Amino acid sequence: MAILPITVYGDKILRKKTKPVDAVNDAIVANVKDMFDTMRNASGIGLAANQVGINKSIFIIDLRPVEGYEETKPMVFINPRIVDESEESVILEEGCLSLPNLRADVERSEIILLEYLDIDENEVKLEADDWLARVILHEYDHLIGKMIPDRVDEDIKEELSEELKNISSRNIEIDYLITDKEE
């Protein structure tokens, strides 16, 4: 197991659509274990593979630190696909390990239906709501090259612009490992 550096706003990999996983092999299983170690080290509840420099369509979630989800098992989502989203939406504040110290209100669907492979390559259909739906949608966004600034209106994005510049230039104080600035 290893703790990997987390990519941050400005890193090109965060803006690319990830590649599908062809097969769950030992390397993928090792990547997933490293992702869990990295996420927990940074006190996160979700992490996409491209957030640790891996261009694969994988994300993980562990909601146990969230009140009401203490008994929820950690989850691995491979090649996820959002099948349906409710018209009802909720606006809540979100943060992101790739946007250290930045918080913003984001509107997301209240209920979603998705299909994915689990770590044993079982096909899974899942209807999710509340925090699970929100975290899934947040992590799924990473896989398609989107981040919180893409989900807020222009006025809020303008308010965040100085913080985004500081994150991109690594002019931030953070207690977990992040990537070096790309040249």
Report the SS3 class of residue 34.
Answer: helix
Alpha-carbon distance of 136 to 116, in angstroms, equals 11
List Cβ neighbours of 39 (8 Å cut-off, separation of 6 or more).
45, 46, 47, 60, 62, 97
Choosing from 123, 139, 158, 162, the catalytic residue is 139
| Known active-site residue 107 | no
Residue 119 burial class via C-beta count within 10 angstroms: exposed 0-12, middle 13-18, buried 19 and up: middle
Report the SS3 class of residue 81.
Answer: strand
Active site residues: 139
